[in-house]
Amino acid sequence: MKTASTKINRRSFLKVSALSGGGMLLSLNWLAACNPKQAETLTMPKEWFQFNGFIKIGENGLVTIMSPNPEGGQNVKTSMPMIVAEELDVAWENVIVEQADLDTKYFTRQFIGGSQAIRSGYTNLRTAGATARAMLVAAAAQSWNVPASEITIKAGTITHKQSGKSAHFGEFASLAATMPVPEEVQLKDSKDFGIIGTSKKNVEAKNIVTGKPLFGIDTKREGMLIAMLVHPPAIGKKLKSLDGSKAKNMPGIREVFQIKSLQDDYKRTFFDTAQFTDLVAIVGESTWQVLQAKKAIQAEWEIQEGYEEKRDMFGREGIRVVPKGLESSASQEQAMIEAAKNPQTQRKDGNPEAAFAKATKIIERSYTGPFLAHNCMEPMNFFAHVQGEKVECAGPLQKPELTEQALSSRLGISLENIDIKMTRLGGGYGRRSYAHWLIEAAVISQKMNAPIKLIYTREDEMTGGIYRSRYQATYKAALDENNELTAFHVNAGGLPENPLYADRFPAGAVANYLAEGWEVPSNITTGSFRAPRSNFMACVEQSFLDEVAEAAGKDPIDFRLELLAKAKANPVGERNDYDPGRFAEVIKLAKEKSNWGQDTEGISRGFSAYFCHNSYAAQVLDLKIVDGQVKIDKVINAIDCGLVVNPDAAKNLCEGAVIDGIGTAMFGELTFADGVASKSNFDSYRMIRMKEAPAAIETYFVENGEDPSGLGEPAYPPVFAALANALYKANGKRFYDQPFINQLNS
């Protein structure tokens, strides 16, 4: 049994017994009592988080557990309360889950992103439940005048066996609120879990399938007006003049005016990214009326000069250089080629130059990945009502606490006067981390002195910036006369972001290793995209390793296992950020469950494995080509994410990641001509269709007793390469450029 220090003081653990009808309210601000290491704080956007619990116990024994984090389909609204309920030892059927609003008094770091919710919150959420449980035991012991050590709790019932007394939580809730907070509590042994590790249905399932209002787009308020925006027609342009008279005179239109969402001298934090800050707002009575007026806007645009943005990157001061110009894909490609000639060394082990000079065989390949749009199914939207010094907001966003700070700065209104209600996200994938549309909605509301719901059209979203970066990587490997890998070199970069993780596999497994990176400045804004950077690096690294294995005459899985064995027995360097033993085990599980080596006629198989977000994923993808069309028969997922809190939900998350990854690898692409995005809606931006999804997806988890780690993103990156490697087996062509459909059709 594990002992956990509560690290709680009166500020971080508030107790209120004055609930209607009696009961107990416990709010735990865990971060106020925890001191994360400086390095951990600065690793954003890898996004390390701490979480909080918020427990209400009613007089009837029902327990309400608030879910502090935004819910975007990753199922934290079910899984996080399960962790609290486990240690509280309440029957799950007696638990009610509610979505908490943003509230920095009770909660801290109400974030979604980086697959860190369960990992970072696990111990703290358990401690929250165990602390409440201990206080209930103390209350029962005092009331019954018996030793606390003789009291047991099971499924919400408090029992003293010796006297035969028993009661439900509600009978001691008010008294428990008067008990001192224990300095430490006992956590359960995992073998005694009754909720964690079992499958529980999504607490929102009924509301979702019956169409209940859950999403930001569902928000309605009396007197609410609809707002939309017009942004420049090309990235690199700005508004020169506006004539909104025609639009303003159309039916239902209340106002047309220019807004500035962020001031020029504002020091932006990481999540204050926005492509355009000078915009035209149209406000009217209905969505249709505003859409029609938007078409009537008469505006003149001009080329924007280059400028610099002040940035505060989690305490690190910085400047983002935004160059002048209208970028096109061809000019971007040439700039990337030139930048790759002058990379910065990010890691160097041994003497790779000498090893390549002595090599018997050298394999060198280059790979590219395009800009990608997030394409969340729910359009960007937010509700805002600014009334003097009071602000009410509601909508979908991933980083509400940070966005609230930016909103406070922009409006000049103190944080305590801002109320943000978090709705369910209709897709996020990193895009809703950059919630400039909340600030835009609030600025419009302040100007109109009315409640406003701001809605983006699909065209607004797809052409308005914040994409996945455009990437390029060149790999080179040296084999000796025995076909042993003696040197490895990667040169990777992007526009505008470098995707390289220099300390990931195969770093640590090769004696002579060189990793180089570079970046090209761009005025096209980019941001987090599901499994940031890993979504490209996994594809190219794992595709290249397959080709190296083939050149060495080795099975691709055996080749990787050999390298991992070397990294475990005699690791090169000290900064390797993966555990070679755990990495090998997840690969072995995929090999076993897929019956690797037992080929089926007509089926081509591809393998891939990758480590990211503190978890390991290995995949085997089976496909066939029928009448020129790719048919994916099956995908085997092997995952090591430590203990799985909710198995069915975890499998669903992995299945979604696989389908999403296949669709992106096959079809995802955005190009530019003179600053204009090539695609603006789903009629041209190709998404995966139901018939193109795998016929079957099987997911297996490594059971190793480790605490939970990331899951929402780790299953996404490796499937790109598993698909590429299977396609090679099917048609004999290697796939070096995304999307793969371009090469299949050529």
Q: Which of 441, 463, 485 is the last residue of a domain?
A: 463
How far are the Cα atoms of 44, 265, 525 from residue 271, in angstroms, in the given order? 10, 16, 12
Same domain, 571 and 698: yes
Instruction: Identify whether the C-beta of residue 499 lies closer than 8 Å to the C-beta of residue 612.
Output: no
Whether residue 454 is found in the same domain as residue 474: no
Q: Are 3 and 183 in contact (CB under 8 A)?
A: no
pLDDT at 599: 87
Maximum distance among all alpha carbons in the chain?
A: 84
The CATH number assigned to the domain holding 405 equals 3.30.365.10
Query: What pLDDT digit, counting tens, does each position of 355-401 carry?
Result: 999 999 999 999 999 999 999 999 999 999 999 999 999 999 998 88
The conformation of residue 148, written as its DSSP 8-state character, comes to G
Taking the model in full, what pTM does it have?
A: 0.93
Q: Give the whole-angstrom CA distance, residue 76 versus residue 746.
A: 43
pLDDT for 574 equals: 87
Q: How far apart are CA 685 and CA 680, in angstroms?
A: 7
* 154 domain residue, yes or no: yes
Judge if 56 and 94 occupy the same domain.
yes
* 314 domain-assigned: no
Express each pLDDT in 444-502 by its tens digit. 999 999 999 999 999 999 999 999 999 999 999 999 999 999 999 999 999 999 999 99
Q: In terms of domains, do 153 and 254 share one?
A: no
Same domain, 416 and 493: no
pLDDT at position 4 = 66
Domain C-terminal end among 423, 445, 463: 463
Cβ contact 383:395 at 8 Å: yes
CA distance linking residue 276 with residue 231, whole number of Å: 7
- What's the total number of domains in the chain? 3
399 assigned to some structural domain: yes
Would 336 be classed as within a structural domain?
no
Residue spans of beta strands (DSSP E) within 261-413: 268-269, 278-284, 298-303, 307-313, 316-322, 344-349, 361-369, 381-387, 390-395
With beta carbons less than 8 A apart as the criterion, state whether 174 and 156 touch: no
Same domain, 432 and 475: no
- Residues 174 and 225 placed together within one structural domain of the fold: no
pLDDT of the residue at 573? 93
Is residue 428 located within the same domain as residue 492?
A: no
Question: Based on the domain organization, do 535 and 456 belong to the same domain?
Answer: no
The Cα 221–Cα 213 span in angstroms is 13
Quote the distance between the C-alpha of residue 105 and its chain's center.
25
What local confidence, expressed as pLDDT, does residue 232 receive? 97
How much is the pLDDT for 27? Answer: 62
Specify if 39 maps to a domain.
yes
Last residue of a domain, one of 445, 463, 481: 463
| Regions of the chain where pLDDT drops below 70 | 1, 3-53, 108
How far is residue 364's CA from residue 692's CA, in Å, rounded to a whole number?
Answer: 32
Q: Which domain holds residue 75?
A: 2-190
110 lies in the same domain as 257:
no
Q: Is residue 73 part of a domain?
A: yes
* Residue 608 and residue 718 in contact, taking contact as beta carbons nearer than 8 Å: yes
| 443 and 479 assigned to the same domain | no
Query: Is the peptide bond prior to 647 cis by the omega test (within 30 degrees of 0)?
Result: no
- Residue 365: inside a domain, yes or no? no
In DSSP notation, 391-460 reads: EEEEE--S-HHHHHHHHHHHHT--GGGEEEEEPBPS--TTGGGS-HHHHHHHHHHHHHTS-EEEE--HHH
Structural domain includes residue 202: no
So what's the pLDDT on residue 44? 23
Note the pLDDT of residue 111: 83
184-207: string of b/e by CB count within 10 Å (b at 16+)? ebebbeeeebebbbeebebbbeee
In sequence order, what E strands does 203-284 have?
A: 225-230, 237-243, 253-260, 268-269, 278-284
Residues 691 and 737 in one domain: yes
The number of residues in the chain equals 746
